[in-house]
Structure 1
Amino acid sequence: MLTLGATGAIYLAVEPQDGRKGIDGLAGVVASALGRDPASGDLFVFKNRKGNRLKVLAWAGDGFALYLRRLERGTFAFPAAGGVGVVVTPAQLAMILGGLDPAAARSRKRYARPDPANPRTV
């Protein structure tokens, strides 16, 4: 089962990957391009060239799990970054999987409990 943010960070590989790559191929990309340990407990998200498929590589404690999401129409909104990978929050990944663009999303103003140590917030 895929649980967002249960253990570690979530890395998006910015460069599209060959959709034919499986667990071993994507684990190689994680190690070589992202410089991370694929068995670290982090989630690694990859898109294909068309942008209509996402693969999530996860370490499940005793082996790897590979999840695939395919859109019948449209593409996933991936953040444009200058590097090879970008770290996102579980909420941002949920937005991407749900068809929203995290870059265009804005947070609404929320109540924040006053901090008694800071007189400006009381």
Structure 2
Amino acid sequence: MIGPSGTLRVMIATGPVDFRKGAEGLAALVKAEMGGDPFSGTVYVFRAKRTDRIKLIFWYGTGMCLVAKRLEDGEFRWPKMQDGVMHLTAAQFSALFEGLDWKRVHAREPARVPVTPG
């Protein structure tokens, strides 16, 4: 299914959406409000008013996939409610999907090349 990798593009709708929408309704939101292409392979993440629910849509080569998750305990950590779109790295998305605080995930600093003795 979804495997976090460096090439995974993740876009988050920061405002809540109507969770009665299915894949087609969310794809229409991607085009109309986010200015994105739901068939590009990018993972689009949506939240409900209740912060314990999340929906994802993405194109998987042969069809549109819809993933819904509800946390049994706790809530997803979301940016402040506002209209707009945010980009997450694959590592941040993985943390968000697990219910962790994705803001604590930072990019690694490049490793320094050791200096060989002269």
Q: TM-score, normalised by structure 1?
A: 0.81
| Matched residue type, 2:39 | A
What's 1:92 paired with?
92
Alpha-carbon RMSD across the aligned residues, in angstroms, is 2.6
Q: What is the distance in 2 between the residues matched to 1:110 and 1:8?
A: 19
Shift of 1:4: 2.8
Structure 2 residues not aligned, in runs of 5+: none
2:9 equivalent to 1:9 = yes
What's 2:27 paired with?
27
* Count of residue correspondences: 115
Shift of 1:80: 2.9
Q: Which has the higher contact order (CA 8 A, sep 6+)?
A: 2
Contact 2:30 2:38 survives alignment (8 Å): yes
Contact 2:91 2:105 survives alignment (8 Å): no
2:52 equivalent to 1:45 = no
Q: What is the distance in 2 between the residues matched to 1:21 and 1:6?
A: 29
Contact 1:58 1:64 survives alignment (8 Å): yes
Shift of 1:63: 1.1
Contact 1:7 1:42 survives alignment (8 Å): no
What's 1:113 paired with?
112
Q: TM-score, normalised by structure 2?
A: 0.83
- Name the % identity: 34
Say which is worse superposed, 50-59 or 79-88, in terms of deviation: 79-88
What's 1:56 paired with?
56
